[in-house]
Amino acid sequence: MSSYTSQKPRSRVADMFQSKNAMGLMFMLPAAVFLICFLTYPLGLGVWLGFTDAKIGRDGVFIGLENYRYLWDDPVFWTSVFNTVVYTFVASVLKFVLGLWLAMILNENLPFKSFFRALVLLPWVVPTVLSALAFWWIFDAQFSIISWSLMQIGWIDGPINFLGDPTNARISVIAANVWRGIPFVAISLLAGLQTIPPSLQEAASLDGATSWQRFRLVTLPLLSPIIAVVMTFSVLFTFTDFQLIYVLTKGGPVNATHLMATLSFQRGIPGGQLGEGAAIAVAMIPFLLAAILFSFFGLQRRKWQQGGQD
Amino acid sequence: MTLNRRHFLTTSAGLVAATGLGGLGISPAFAQAAAPTYKPEEGASLRLLRWVPFVPGEEAAWLANTKKFTDATGVAVRIDKESWEDVRPKAAVAANIGSGPDMVMSWFDDPQQYPDKLLDLTELGEYLGGAHGGWYPGLEGYAKRDGKFIALPLCAIGNAIVYRDSHMKAAGFNEFPKDTAGFLELCKALQAKGTPAGFPHGKAVGDGNNYAHWLLWSHGGKMVDEAGNVVLNSPETLASVKYAQELYKTFIPGTESWQDVNNNRAFLAGQVSLTANGVSVYYAAIKDPSMKEIAEDMRSVNLPIGPVGESVELHQASTLSVFKHTKYPEAAKAYLQFMYQADNMNSWIEGASAYCCQPLKAFADNPVWTSNPIHAAYAKASGSLRPNGYAGPLGTASAATMADYVLVDMYATAVTGQMSPEDAIAQAERRAQRYYRV
């Protein structure tokens, strides 16, 4: 006589809970839904709008590359591209150099070290609009404190036209952006500096390396992974800057400080030309991708990190 | 539901008609057109999207009138406020998706961007025009499309020159010049005395566009013709740019970067003696005891008349529209009719302290305009107003051309010497053609 034990069939739900793949999928689902709803869909919609003649309040029809063709012949658009590239490049380089310098100072054993480290973060903590408003006053054509101080000293006769002259305006907005962005770079690089074992520096010193050699051949290569990440973010933030320009100049004087982001807004929302505004925003993507690729593949070269010359 | 709401008749003319008084010959003066009567739908409630008020008294008067309407009809009206630059996208989205507020108080040519999404208000518009001395043509232009009212003109936010009387006199002028040539001489004299004028050449949405459009129109130039063809490149435009260059030489340095608030700040700080602004600059001065001297010395006057021979200005214009998607169109019309009743409209204009100029000619004798000499210049705003897309059709192209600062940039590039007047005009023409390309 043989015995037979009947086994209750497992439900599909139970099977699913037993499956690592299914569980993994389930755990990823909320994040995926979130990303699809709030990232992929808006991005896809933006790209689509760039191929339409959509206006605010009116659905558009597909017009292919017409928006891009018009932008190609639009001197204001090319001015904004030039401004964006200059703004991003100059501001990012300055933020990197000054941020690294600040990080190295803060990495030393200074009195009130923690206090200074906290203080450095202030420009980053202040909301951008508020700091932009402060700079608006600082750069005001009539009431600038800089102009006033220089006039008091007797170095200048009249106020400096900070935001009215194209070159001055570009320098001024870059200065404001650098002021605001340095803390992010400095504090992030400071964290990176603290991960470098002191023994490496000591060994290099014992080998007779000068302080510049120690910096160039020990500190910088070991810091490069974090530099890559920090500068990627810094470039992205700078390239897509909007608030600072919008408060300080709204893109003026005569579009001398219009960035692609501010031009996209001006054309898309107050101007009602959603399709064209979207096309300008989409035109930023190749530049952003190039910046990211440069940061990742350029700054993370393994040989360079190891002190080699490629 | 109250008996009051069921039988609500929103105007006195309506009452007259309903009670038969009209038939007895006891009719008010405006009985030339029968007042339409709108019976709010049962359970109706309304939402109005409006711009954030510039003057507290204006909002208070609007809310008081709204409350009266609600008390009389039982129709609750919710009023949502948005900063004035955000009204356009919000209203456009509401029109597009067919949901959101029932009515919108919008700017410039906004209703012309989605005319097919708006309720036809022709009956009410024509009645109100007939009953109250007629609409001002400039404001009416914003509200009408193909002969139909797609909105009701609400007001012009007046722009006028404000200046320091003592400084003008010190510069050798006993009265303010009425034409552009005399105005240039005054600005030169003010500059020579170290009390210069200043007008914004930066991206000032309101003041910058007001100044640029006045420069163009006062010299007979225009962006487009009646058919919407770009005709900016003309001898008249060239004359206006050359005039702007001369005027700019007399300004305080830095006006290329001025946004809307800069001219107020500079005027109230005594840095400039002459600029153009809404009446708000006067109220800012009288509120602050330290500016007593400036407030007492301040005068207002309309911008001078150019070679075109008449006073022509942009001003800011506002209209009221009802979306087709509203579930309560009758209630919305009743609300509008109520707000335009003489006593209600007058109390609102008065509350706005000369900030909002009447849309209908009958309200020109509102006591607010004579209550303070500084108000007088602002009383004429609706009369001198031209729609921003003059002389062509209003719509997305006219809105985009102004939003892209085409005219503002044209003058700024020329006056700062970045381009010759001819090149600046040619570039502006190209930019405008892109929007009027249809």
φ, ψ for residue A52 (rounded to 5)? -125, 170
B316 vs A contacts (CB less than 8 Å): none
- Same domain flag for B308 and B347: no
pLDDT, position A108? 84
Contact pairs from chain A to chain B, CB under 8 Å: 121
- Same domain flag for B122 and B24: yes
pLDDT, position A263? 96
Average pLDDT over residues A60-85: 93
- Same domain flag for B408 and B421: yes
A159 vs B contacts (CB less than 8 Å): 253-254
Average pLDDT over residues B121-142: 97
Q: Which helix (H) or strand (E) holds B383?
A: helix B381-384
Give tens-digit pLDDT for A116-151.
Answer: 888 888 888 888 889 999 999 999 988 999 999 999
pLDDT, position B405? 93
pLDDT, position A1? 43
Give tens-digit pLDDT for A160-178.
Answer: 999 999 999 999 999 999 9
β B298-301/B152-157 pair status: unpaired
- Is residue B47 included in any domain, yes or no? yes
Q: pLDDT-based confidence at B23, cuts 50/70/90?
A: very low
pLDDT, position A113? 81
Give tens-digit pLDDT for B285-334.
Answer: 999 999 999 999 999 999 999 999 999 999 999 999 999 999 999 999 99
Residue B318 near residue B157 (C-beta atoms within 8 A): yes
DSSP H helices in chain A: 12-18, 20-35, 41-50, 66-72, 75-107, 113-120, 122-125, 128-138, 145-153, 166-193, 198-206, 211-214, 220-239, 243-248, 260-268, 274-293, 299, 302-305
Whether residue B85 and residue A55 make contact (CB cut-off 8 A), yes or no, is no
Mean pLDDT of chain A: 88
A169 vs B contacts (CB less than 8 Å): 257
Q: pLDDT-based confidence at A309, cuts 50/70/90?
A: low
Chain B residue with the nearest C-alpha to that of A163: B257
Distances (CA, A) of A49 to A46, A60, A237, A300: 5, 8, 24, 36
B431 vs A contacts (CB less than 8 Å): 74, 76
Average pLDDT over residues B349-371: 96
- Mutation target among A142, A263, A267 for the B interface, most CBs of B within 10 A: A142
- Same domain flag for B299 and B328: no
With 50 as the cut, is the pLDDT of residue B21 above it?
no
With 60 as the cut, is the pLDDT of residue B24 above it?
no
Whether residue A140 and residue B262 make contact (CB cut-off 8 A), yes or no, is yes
Mean pLDDT of chain B: 91
Q: Is the dihedral of CA B219, B223, B226, B230 positive or negative?
A: positive
- Does this model's pTM top 0.90? My answer is no
- Is residue B365 included in any domain, yes or no? yes
Closest to B4 measured CA to CA, from B106, B74, B89, B105? B74
3-state secondary structure of A151: helix
- Is residue B270 included in any domain, yes or no? yes
- Is residue B196 included in any domain, yes or no? yes
- Same domain flag for B57 and B109: yes
Q: pLDDT-based confidence at B150, cuts 50/70/90?
A: very high
Q: Which residue range(s) make up the domain with B173?
A: 160-314+404-435
With 80 as the cut, is the pLDDT of residue A205 above it?
yes
How far away is chain B from the Cα of A164, in angstroms, using its nearest Cα? 4
How far away is chain A from the Cα of B93, in angstroms, using its nearest Cα? 5
- Same domain flag for B272 and B218: yes
Fill in the DSSP letter of residue A218: I
pLDDT, position A116? 84
CATH number, domain of B236, equals 3.40.190.10
- Same domain flag for B280 and B419: yes
- Mutation target among A49, A52, A55, A56 for the B interface, most CBs of B within 10 A: A56
Interface of A with B (CB under 8 A): 55-59, 70, 74-76, 139-143, 158-159, 161-166, 169, 249-255, 266-267, 269-273
Number of domains in chain B: 2
- Same domain flag for B196 and B296: yes
Domains and CATH numbers, chain A: 83-257 (1.10.3720.10)
- Mutation target among B113, B150, B257 for the A interface, most CBs of A within 10 A: B257
Average pLDDT over residues B395-403: 90
With 50 as the cut, is the pLDDT of residue B396 above it?
yes
3-state secondary structure of B301: strand
Average pLDDT over residues B227-238: 97
Give tens-digit pLDDT for B248-272.
Answer: 999 999 999 999 899 999 999 999 9
- Same domain flag for B410 and B334: no
- Asked which of B329, B360, B375 is the last residue of a domain, the reply is B375
- Is residue B387 included in any domain, yes or no? no
Residue B293 near residue B314 (C-beta atoms within 8 A): no
How far away is chain B from the Cα of A88, in angstroms, using its nearest Cα? 22
Distances (CA, A) of A253 to A142, B358, B414: 16, 35, 12
- Is residue B11 included in any domain, yes or no? yes
Q: pLDDT-based confidence at A111, cuts 50/70/90?
A: confident
pLDDT, position A174? 97
Give tens-digit pLDDT for B210-230.
Answer: 999 999 999 999 999 999 999
3-state secondary structure of A60: coil
With 50 as the cut, is the pLDDT of residue B430 above it?
yes
- Is residue B10 included in any domain, yes or no? yes
∠ CA B256-B110-A246, nearest 5°, is 35
- Same domain flag for B328 and B281: no
- Is residue B397 included in any domain, yes or no? no
- Same domain flag for B97 and B136: yes
pLDDT, position B373? 95
pLDDT, position A308? 53
- Distance from C-alpha of B320 to C-alpha of B357, rounded to nearest angstrom: 15
- Same domain flag for B298 and B323: no
Which residue shows structure tokens 């320091």? B164
Q: pLDDT-based confidence at A110, cuts 50/70/90?
A: confident
